[in-house]
Copies of this chain bind each other. A is one copy, B any other.
Amino acid sequence: MSEPNDATFDIVILGGGSGGYAAALRAAQLDLSVALIEKGKLGGTCLHNGCIPTKALLHAAEIADQTRESEQFGVKAELVGIDMAAVNSYKDGVISRLYKGLQGLVGGAKKITFVAGAGKLVGKNVVEVDGKRYTGRNVILASGSYAKSLPGLEIDGERIITSDHALTLDRVPSSAIVLGGGVIGVEFASVWKSFGVDVTIVEALPRLVAAEDEESSKALERAFRKRKINFKVGKPFEKVEKTENGVKLTIQGGDTVEAELLLVAVGRGPTTANLGYEEQGVKMDRGYVLTDERLRTSVPNVYAVGDIVPGLQLAHRGFQQGIFVAEEIAGKNPAVIDEAGIPRVTYCDPELASVGLTEAKAKEQYGADKIKTYNYNLGGNGKSQILKTAGHVKLVRVEDGPVVGVHMVGARVGELIGEAQLIYNWEAYPAEVAQLVHAHPTQNEALGEAHLALAGKPLHAHA
């Protein structure tokens, strides 16, 4: 029998970020009782320190750029400057409105008991918070991630910072080094450049956004060069020293960069240390929780979702996994999630968006001779011309088969990924999309044009 202080639930969820709260909301809809344990703020990284604040900064950045370039469109305007206090209050306003909405959803769900506090897995199906034990017929681990650093790189929060600090900076630095040319790195580099900062990205891999299709990286690099965002790729960082007014970073080989501050954006590590996972027998790998494709850990009835599960670290992957596990527990037998079918958007300027396989991966998987690609240049797309953006929509298909990859670069192309997501996941053939002529003049028309071309019937394009 349990202590009077203790409680039992259908599901105990450890962590109230994207993965955890999505699982809680879906479970409650399925009439399961839930304890949702969160030591910080409901909404987690994404809402408070991730997706939302960065995208608010990126939108302020877009407005700064458009104002700066407004004369090209016939609008006479003068950019006076960036008021970081006002930028931050705009950003915080967005967060707090969404936070309130989310609290309303979780608070309004009768089946969810929200528990504020730090939890630890103390039994195979028990999480303890401040001495109180929450027993779950099922447990979902959803403790998320934190900004990593590298050996020899001590984050001081002043001159050497992570995205957490960058999101609350009260000034626009004069110059900055961004260590890491992945998603988070290029997003901050883009924001800062728009705000007038002299930015240099340092990336050990041979190209920016190395997880993307190679042509996407090339197009981004071209655009960044035009924007005068400096980047040095292909060599790892060696050391960092503090200078009188900032930092000096040395790249292997001796090249150095100096700036007012250094943003360390070298990836995110799983928040799993000292949470009792290993002790309870949960199989782990370098801090990540291992699961099968149904998100079951090695311990029966213990599941894991979100950034602690190896793979894409994206909020909507957390949502999808959270919903999946709730449905799985409710016996709904949901379809396994295809990780490649999860859309990926990078919100720098120009934006990148992709779903499915890169050309290289597709060739590896199907054989090089079985893969056809088409690259539709946004130069032929009226709306993109109107926006004065450059880029492309690239399709990867299996010969006589479906589209298995969509890769886009250009201002605002992130919004086209919804359609691409259906095409990839529903295994549509180019001709099936081509048949549906897209709205003119939109950017999504470029997706239509690419499919027309790949189906052998280009409209506003050469074959």
Binary per-residue interface labels of chain A (316-355) against chain B in the complex, 1 for a CB within 8 Å, 0 otherwise = 1101100100000000001100000111110000000100
Closest to A101 in B: B380
Binary per-residue interface labels of chain A (443-463) against chain B in the complex, 1 for a CB within 8 Å, 0 otherwise = 111011000000011111111
Contact A29 B386 (CB under 8 A): no
Contact A438 B343 (CB under 8 A): yes
Closest to A78 in B: B78
Q: How many copies does the complex hold?
A: 2
Which of B66, B315, B383 is the one whose CB lies under 8 Å from A440?
A: B315
Closest to A30 in B: B457
Q: How large is the interface on A (under 10, 10 to 19, 20 to 34, 35 or more residues)?
A: 35 or more
User: Which residues does chain B contribute within 8 Å of A89, judged by CB atoms?
Assistant: 74
User: Which residues does chain B contribute within 8 Å of A442, judged by CB atoms?
Assistant: 345, 414-415, 417-418
Contact A79 B75 (CB under 8 A): yes
Does A360 touch B at the CB level, under 8 Å?
no
Which of B29, B75, B436 is the one whose CB lies under 8 Å from A63?
A: B75
User: Which residues does chain B contribute within 8 Å of A22, judged by CB atoms?
Assistant: 459
| CB within 8 Å for A439 and B345 given contacts A386-B59, A415-B416, A459-B319 | yes
Which of B26, B383, B428, B439 is the one whose CB lies under 8 Å from A316?
A: B439
User: Which residues does chain B contribute within 8 Å of A4, judged by CB atoms?
Assistant: none
Binary per-residue interface labels of chain A (354-387) against chain B in the complex, 1 for a CB within 8 Å, 0 otherwise = 0000000000000000000000000110110111
Does A25 touch B at the CB level, under 8 Å?
yes
Closest to A317 in B: B437
- Hey, which bits of chain A sit against chain B, CB under 8 A? 18, 22, 25-26, 29, 46, 51-52, 55-56, 59-60, 63-64, 66-67, 70-90, 94, 97-98, 101-102, 105, 108, 314-317, 319-320, 323, 334-335, 341-345, 353, 379-380, 382-383, 385-387, 412, 414-419, 421-423, 425-426, 428, 432-433, 435-445, 447-448, 456-463
